[in-house]
Amino acid sequence: MVDSNLDSGETNTFRAVVLGGTFDHLHDGHRALLKAAANVATERVVVGVSTGPLLENKEYAKLIEPLETRRQSVERYIKSIKSSLLVQTEPLVDPYGPSIVDEGLGAIVVSKETEKGGHAVNQKRAEKGLSTLHVVVVDLVGDSMSTEKVSSTLLRKREAEALQARHVA
Protein backbone atom coordinates (compact mmCIF):
# COMPACT_ATOMS: atom_id res chain seq x y z
CA MET A 1 0.00 0.00 0.00
CA VAL A 2 1.37 3.38 -1.01
CA ASP A 3 -0.01 6.79 -0.09
CA SER A 4 0.27 9.72 -2.41
CA ASN A 5 -1.07 13.21 -2.79
CA LEU A 6 -2.42 13.94 -6.22
CA ASP A 7 0.09 16.75 -6.69
CA SER A 8 2.55 14.15 -7.95
CA GLY A 9 0.85 14.24 -11.35
CA GLU A 10 -0.63 10.75 -11.35
CA THR A 11 -3.08 10.34 -14.20
CA ASN A 12 -4.40 7.26 -15.97
CA THR A 13 -2.63 5.02 -13.48
CA PHE A 14 -5.21 2.46 -12.30
CA ARG A 15 -7.78 0.43 -14.25
CA ALA A 16 -10.35 0.83 -11.46
CA VAL A 17 -10.60 3.10 -8.44
CA VAL A 18 -13.07 3.36 -5.58
CA LEU A 19 -14.29 6.12 -3.31
CA GLY A 20 -17.26 6.67 -1.06
CA GLY A 21 -19.28 9.39 0.59
CA THR A 22 -22.68 10.95 1.01
CA PHE A 23 -22.25 13.29 -1.99
CA ASP A 24 -25.15 15.44 -0.81
CA HIS A 25 -25.57 18.82 -2.52
CA LEU A 26 -22.52 18.14 -4.71
CA HIS A 27 -19.93 20.79 -3.82
CA ASP A 28 -16.30 21.65 -4.61
CA GLY A 29 -14.94 19.18 -2.05
CA HIS A 30 -16.88 16.35 -3.71
CA ARG A 31 -15.80 17.56 -7.13
CA ALA A 32 -12.13 17.46 -6.07
CA LEU A 33 -12.48 13.82 -4.96
CA LEU A 34 -14.44 12.77 -8.03
CA LYS A 35 -12.06 14.58 -10.38
CA ALA A 36 -9.08 12.88 -8.73
CA ALA A 37 -10.77 9.50 -9.18
CA ALA A 38 -11.52 10.23 -12.84
CA ASN A 39 -7.97 11.41 -13.44
CA VAL A 40 -6.26 8.31 -12.03
CA ALA A 41 -8.72 5.77 -13.48
CA THR A 42 -8.35 4.34 -16.96
CA GLU A 43 -11.52 2.20 -17.15
CA ARG A 44 -13.80 2.27 -14.13
CA VAL A 45 -14.74 4.36 -11.09
CA VAL A 46 -16.77 2.70 -8.33
CA VAL A 47 -18.53 5.17 -6.04
CA GLY A 48 -20.25 4.12 -2.84
CA VAL A 49 -23.02 6.62 -2.07
CA SER A 50 -24.08 6.59 1.58
CA THR A 51 -27.65 5.71 2.47
CA GLY A 52 -29.73 4.14 5.24
CA PRO A 53 -27.89 3.65 8.53
CA LEU A 54 -24.96 5.83 7.42
CA LEU A 55 -27.27 8.85 7.22
CA GLU A 56 -29.18 8.40 10.49
CA ASN A 57 -26.86 10.53 12.64
CA LYS A 58 -26.08 13.22 10.08
CA GLU A 59 -26.97 16.78 11.03
CA TYR A 60 -29.98 18.10 9.14
CA ALA A 61 -30.56 14.58 7.76
CA LYS A 62 -34.07 15.49 6.57
CA LEU A 63 -32.49 17.86 4.04
CA ILE A 64 -30.24 15.21 2.44
CA GLU A 65 -31.06 14.76 -1.23
CA PRO A 66 -32.61 11.42 -2.30
CA LEU A 67 -30.13 8.63 -3.07
CA GLU A 68 -30.97 8.57 -6.78
CA THR A 69 -30.38 12.33 -7.11
CA ARG A 70 -26.97 11.98 -5.47
CA ARG A 71 -26.03 8.97 -7.61
CA GLN A 72 -26.96 10.83 -10.81
CA SER A 73 -25.00 13.93 -9.77
CA VAL A 74 -21.90 11.81 -9.12
CA GLU A 75 -22.18 9.97 -12.43
CA ARG A 76 -22.81 13.14 -14.46
CA TYR A 77 -19.83 14.90 -12.90
CA ILE A 78 -17.39 12.03 -13.47
CA LYS A 79 -18.59 11.63 -17.07
CA SER A 80 -18.04 15.38 -17.61
CA ILE A 81 -14.39 14.87 -16.66
CA LYS A 82 -13.75 11.66 -18.60
CA SER A 83 -16.67 10.34 -20.64
CA SER A 84 -14.93 7.07 -21.48
CA LEU A 85 -15.09 5.81 -17.89
CA LEU A 86 -17.57 3.23 -16.66
CA VAL A 87 -19.09 4.79 -13.54
CA GLN A 88 -20.66 2.41 -11.04
CA THR A 89 -22.57 4.02 -8.18
CA GLU A 90 -23.48 1.64 -5.39
CA PRO A 91 -25.66 2.28 -2.32
CA LEU A 92 -23.30 2.36 0.68
CA VAL A 93 -24.86 1.01 3.89
CA ASP A 94 -21.63 0.31 5.79
CA PRO A 95 -18.24 2.04 5.87
CA TYR A 96 -16.65 -0.40 3.39
CA GLY A 97 -19.15 -1.24 0.66
CA PRO A 98 -17.64 -2.44 -2.63
CA SER A 99 -14.10 -1.47 -1.58
CA ILE A 100 -13.56 -4.74 0.29
CA VAL A 101 -15.11 -7.14 -2.23
CA ASP A 102 -14.16 -5.83 -5.68
CA GLU A 103 -11.00 -7.66 -6.76
CA GLY A 104 -10.39 -5.39 -9.76
CA LEU A 105 -9.69 -2.22 -7.79
CA GLY A 106 -6.24 -0.63 -7.79
CA ALA A 107 -6.71 2.54 -5.73
CA ILE A 108 -8.96 4.27 -3.24
CA VAL A 109 -9.41 8.05 -3.33
CA VAL A 110 -9.82 9.74 0.07
CA SER A 111 -9.58 13.22 1.56
CA LYS A 112 -7.07 14.12 4.25
CA GLU A 113 -10.02 13.89 6.64
CA THR A 114 -10.89 10.30 5.62
CA GLU A 115 -7.38 8.96 5.02
CA LYS A 116 -7.66 6.61 8.02
CA GLY A 117 -10.68 5.05 6.34
CA GLY A 118 -8.53 4.19 3.33
CA HIS A 119 -6.12 2.33 5.58
CA ALA A 120 -9.02 0.53 7.30
CA VAL A 121 -10.21 -0.61 3.86
CA ASN A 122 -6.75 -2.01 3.13
CA GLN A 123 -6.70 -3.85 6.44
CA LYS A 124 -10.07 -5.49 5.62
CA ARG A 125 -8.91 -6.32 2.09
CA ALA A 126 -5.76 -7.97 3.46
CA GLU A 127 -7.87 -10.01 5.91
CA LYS A 128 -9.94 -11.24 2.95
CA GLY A 129 -6.86 -12.12 0.91
CA LEU A 130 -7.34 -9.25 -1.55
CA SER A 131 -4.56 -6.97 -2.73
CA THR A 132 -4.26 -3.67 -0.89
CA LEU A 133 -5.12 -0.45 -2.68
CA HIS A 134 -2.97 2.54 -3.48
CA VAL A 135 -4.34 5.37 -1.29
CA VAL A 136 -4.72 8.64 -3.22
CA VAL A 137 -5.15 11.57 -0.81
CA VAL A 138 -6.91 14.76 -1.93
CA ASP A 139 -6.59 18.02 0.03
CA LEU A 140 -9.64 19.49 1.75
CA VAL A 141 -11.38 22.37 -0.02
CA GLY A 142 -12.24 25.58 1.82
CA ASP A 143 -15.69 27.17 1.85
CA SER A 144 -15.86 30.45 -0.03
CA MET A 145 -18.29 31.98 2.50
CA SER A 146 -16.39 31.14 5.70
CA THR A 147 -13.10 29.86 7.08
CA GLU A 148 -14.49 26.32 7.41
CA LYS A 149 -13.91 23.46 5.01
CA VAL A 150 -16.72 23.08 2.52
CA SER A 151 -19.14 20.36 3.63
CA SER A 152 -22.63 19.10 2.93
CA THR A 153 -23.48 19.62 6.61
CA LEU A 154 -22.59 23.31 6.31
CA LEU A 155 -24.71 23.60 3.15
CA ARG A 156 -27.67 21.83 4.81
CA LYS A 157 -27.30 24.10 7.87
CA ARG A 158 -27.51 27.17 5.63
CA GLU A 159 -30.54 25.68 3.86
CA ALA A 160 -32.25 25.00 7.22
CA GLU A 161 -31.54 28.55 8.38
CA ALA A 162 -32.94 29.97 5.14
CA LEU A 163 -36.09 27.83 5.48
CA GLN A 164 -36.52 28.93 9.08
CA ALA A 165 -36.04 32.60 8.15
CA ARG A 166 -38.75 32.27 5.47
CA HIS A 167 -41.17 30.79 8.00
CA VAL A 168 -40.45 33.55 10.52
CA ALA A 169 -40.89 36.35 7.98
pLDDT lower than 50: segments of the chain:
7-8, 143-144, 147
Residue 22 half-sphere exposure toward CB, CA atoms < 13 A: 22
Residue 105 half-sphere exposure toward CB, CA atoms < 13 A: 30
Residue span of the structural domain in which 132 resides: 3-168
State pLDDT tens for residues 70-94: 999 999 999 999 999 999 999 999 9
CB-neighbour burial class of residue 128 (10 A; exposed 0-12, middle 13-18, buried 19+)? exposed
In the prediction, which pLDDT does 5 show?
A: 59
CATH number at residue 85: 3.40.50.620
Q: How far apart are CA 27 and CA 47, in angstroms?
A: 16
Domain count, the chain: 1
Residues 49, 74 contacting (CB under 8 angstroms): yes
Q: How far apart are CA 55 and CA 137, in angstroms?
A: 24
